[in-house]
Amino acid sequence: MSQDIGLDAGPLAHIKVVPVLLALAMGGFAIGTTEFAAMSLLPYIAAGLQVDEPTASHAVSAYALGVVVGAPLIAVFAARFSRRLTLIWLMAAFALANILSAMAPSYGWLLLFRFISGLPHGAYFGVAALVAASLVPQHQRTQAVAKVMLGLTVANIIGVPVATALGQALGWRFGFAITGFLALVTCVMVFALAPRDPARPGASPLRELGALRRRQVWLTLAVGAVGFGGIFAVYAYTSTILLEVTMAPPTVIPIVMAIFGVGMTLGTLGSAWAADRALMPTAAGLLIASVIILGAFPFLAGNVYTLAAGVFLVGVTSSLGTVLQTRLMDVAQDAQTLAAALNHGAFNVANALGPWLGGMAILAGFGFTSVAWVGAGLSSLGLVVLGIAVWDERRSRKA
């Protein structure tokens, strides 16, 4: 991958890089807050709009589908423009859509505004990851991308619990309103700190679409779309499991969500370090761990302490996204923007798939904890797809 901005790797360059990564991570913090708080607030959204919780979970799926639609479209047409300006406009649109979500007069309007909110998500993370990777040497790419993703993980420690607590105390609408404010703060930070890169006249939508001709790109996206669905299947119903199965008081929910964020943060840092040394084995290890943890999750749900431990471990395995982001940089060749954005589109296919399948299991009468076994099945399928990708790559090299 070419180094578009071309900073040195010495200590002085590192000092310059840190503020840029902080600004980019702030956008991840805003996105992570709304994406995960929407799940933790499901019981309150359902009550406020007078729908059942499986129906309310469609708001999560609508956001995810917005990511899936927006990621490729925006990435293709924004490829030739300045990445700094692209990030600012994406965050401005994200802020507006979340403010509208907070003002939604009905369930139908909420679905529409959540879909619109999702449109900038994948493109923002994709472009931000490319900017971060361009600031450091080749062998530190995953760690640079991970530092951007730390915004999303820290959101689960601070942003989601705060948004959840506000939603419980003042109404679920405040959970979306605070995200709009965070997105506006990101616009200011990116404007002030991100490198002023030129437009890319050599880039074109046709060249970006070239990524879709590569089998390894599709296989990598499939790993995320299926394998990550297991984590979302559990996370979307964690609040409900705490209330209905563990019989914990509502005040415990923000604490458990913060524990998930701690696991996610530690997992992202550790897996990024490992992936810069052994990329595909790290991805395989995370999927295997996910299968084991999700398979055991129903047996942990009866006690708040064992459940919290299970949620922490699920958070650790959620770092798969950062690893696959670097993998896409390797296999996409000259279609970097589209491939990077599609990674988040794939994970939001998982975001839609996991809660939907989990909701079907609940409606079928298998109980709230059955979502974990649905998740274990999805993670297992993701591991199979990863094995096919490795086999296909080795076969191509021999050929």
pLDDT in tens, 251-287: 888 788 889 888 988 998 888 888 888 889 999 999 9
**Cβ neighbours, 10 Å, residue 249:** 10
Structural domain count of the chain = 1
pLDDT tier at 4, thresholds 50, 70, 90:
very low
The reply to whether 2 falls in a domain is: no
Distances (CA, A) of 16 to 7, 21, 189, 273: 9, 9, 14, 21
Q: What is the pTM of this model?
A: 0.73
- Please indicate, yes or no, if residue 44 is contained in any of the structural domains: yes
Residue 205 has pLDDT above 70, yes or no: no
With CA atoms as reference, report the closest residue to 375 among 308, 309, 299, 297. 297
- Residue at token pair 């469609």: 58
Residue 210, phi then psi, degrees to nearest 5: -60, -25
Cα dist from 160 to 51, 122, 151, 167, 186, whole Å: 23, 19, 12, 10, 17
**Model confidence band, residue 217 (pLDDT cutoffs 50, 70, 90):** confident
Any domain includes 285: yes
Is 62 within the bounds of a domain?
yes
- CA-to-CA dists, residue 222 to 127, 154, 340, 347, 387, angstroms: 20, 26, 14, 9, 12
CA distances from 170 to 45, 49, 107, 165, 167 (A): 12, 15, 19, 8, 5
3 domain residue, yes or no? no
Q: For the chain, give the number of residues.
A: 399
The tokens describing 390, both together, are 């490795």
| Burial (CB count within 10 angstroms: exposed 0-12, middle 13-18, buried 19+), residue 305 | exposed
**H or E, element range at 386:** helix 370-398
In a domain, 315, yes or no: yes
- For 73-105, the pLDDT digits (tens) are 887 777 777 888 899 999 999 999 999 999 988
CB atoms within 10 A of CB 344: 27
Residue 250: phi and psi, rounded to 5, are: -60, -25
| Residue ranges making up the domain that contains 133 | 11-398
Q: What is the CATH number of the domain that holds 305?
A: 1.20.1250.20
Q: What is the pLDDT of residue 201?
A: 62
Q: Mean pLDDT lowest for which of 52-66, 83-97, 237-251?
A: 52-66
pLDDT of residue 293: 94
Contact between 60 and 258 (Cβ < 8 Å)? no
Residue 364 lies in a domain: yes
In single-letter form, the type of residue at position 230 comes to: G
| 263 within a domain of the structure (yes/no) | yes
Confidence of residue 204 (pLDDT cuts 50, 70, 90): low
